[in-house]
Amino acid sequence: MSSNPGTAWTGEASPITSLKGRDCLTLLDFTPQEIQGLVEEALRMKQEWKAEKADRPLAGKALAMIFDKPSTRTRISFETGMAQLGGHSLSLNRGDLQLGRGESLADTARVLSGYVDAVLIRTFSHKALEELAQHASIPIINGLTDLHHPCQALADLLTLKESRGGLTGLTLTYIGDGNNMLHSLLEAAAATGIHLRAATPPGYEPDPVVIQRAQQVAARTGSDLHFTSDPREAVTKADAVYTDVWASMGQEEEKEQRIRDFAGFQVDTALMSLAKPDALFMHCLPAYRGLEVTAEVIDGSSSVVFPQAENRLHAQKALLAALIG
């Protein structure tokens, strides 16, 4: 099902009521109001779950999950989330499907559309994700591609909302590779009025097309997106500091070169000391202590990486309920 970005929220109803039946390929498939609505709904659902007052709006619904890449947080949080909402999930890899024997994505999309209510896919190529969505008549959810990681960014917004009480006007600094995680954080920041500073080594800047799309949204929300190659400049007076692995899945052969290229981009206590005294440290995990972050930072009092990981569950429950509930 190809995505149809919704219209702006007029205030008469929740902004997420317009999401039913839509895809989540990138965060900018949704309006700023819809993204804010998802964060609010995730917070509400988390509070109700903790209070043991949660309902089960997805009873009888099924989610197919296709994994071309290993997964811890995406797989477990979606599977657990569907169960908590009363639904059912099927965890599959390419070898479990006829995709492994050459069946086309188009045919697979049409078949799955007759069996389940939505498909989550974690794969390498964003174009493959778009092809699946083009031929499906049910919502397609991006569980990570080479270009975007929208479900993680939703959880990050929830974490910032919980920790700081609001989003607009916060300064979030990202240090490291201009990868799929930064792309989705740019979109998340632009949609919510967060000021994002990204420090990347020369040659590792984010995709210019993604930047352009995010800047168009930022111009409407008041978000400031700033790019530099100086981590110290980016971190100064930040409310939160975020990093990711230097070599993502599929880039293992580049690891040694990347370690050399990312020298000076490690988040350590000296770098964190330039941020605000109560600044948060964030990481989408898995993390490699001694490379992109020191143990003192990720295991220290400023770190919210494990609440951030838990929030994958609640952010994705809100997304699932909105798309197929």
The reply, when asked if residue 163 is annotated as ligand binding, is no
Strands (E), the chain: 62-67, 88-93, 118-122, 140-144, 171-175, 195-199, 225-228, 240-243, 280-283
The reply, when asked if residue 284 is annotated as ligand binding, is yes
Active site residue 312: yes
Task: List the catalytic residue out of 23, 29, 177, 244.
Answer: 244
The reply, when asked if residue 244 is annotated as ligand binding, is yes
Task: List the catalytic residue out of 23, 284, 314, 316.
Answer: 284
The reply, when asked if residue 151 is annotated as ligand binding, is yes
Active site residue 152: yes
Whether residue 217 contacts residue 32, with contact meaning beta carbons closer than 8 Å, is answered with yes
The reply, when asked if residue 107 is annotated as ligand binding, is no
The reply, when asked if residue 73 is annotated as ligand binding, is yes
Active site residue 122: yes
Q: How far apart are CA 197 and CA 184, in angstroms?
A: 14
Active site residue 215: no
The reply, when asked if residue 301 is annotated as ligand binding, is no
The reply, when asked if residue 316 is annotated as ligand binding, is no
Token pair for 159: 């974490």
Task: List the catalytic residue out of 183, 195, 312, 314.
Answer: 312
3-state secondary structure of 59: coil
Which burial class, exposed, middle or buried, applies to 206 when counting CB atoms under 10 A from its CB (0-12, 13-18, 19+)? buried
Q: How far apart are CA 125 and CA 114, in angstroms?
A: 24
Task: List the catalytic residue out of 22, 23, 122, 239.
Answer: 122
The reply, when asked if residue 248 is annotated as ligand binding, is yes
Whether residue 164 contacts residue 278, with contact meaning beta carbons closer than 8 Å, is answered with no
The reply, when asked if residue 249 is annotated as ligand binding, is yes
Active site residue 55: no
Angle CA 123–127–132, to nearest 5: 75
Angle CA 110–116–118, to nearest 5: 85
The reply, when asked if residue 93 is annotated as ligand binding, is no
Whether residue 118 contacts residue 320, with contact meaning beta carbons closer than 8 Å, is answered with yes
The reply, when asked if residue 312 is annotated as ligand binding, is yes
The reply, when asked if residue 3 is annotated as ligand binding, is no
Strand order in the sheet with 88-93: 88-93, 62-67, 118-122, 140-144
The reply, when asked if residue 149 is annotated as ligand binding, is yes
- Going by the annotation, the residues of the binding site are 71-74, 98, 122, 149-152, 180, 244, 248-249, 284-285, 312
- Going by the annotation, the residues of the binding site for L-ornithine are 180, 244, 248-249
List residues with catalytic annotation.
122, 149, 152, 244, 284, 312
- Going by the annotation, the residues of the binding site for carbamoyl phosphate are 71-74, 98, 122, 149-152, 284-285, 312
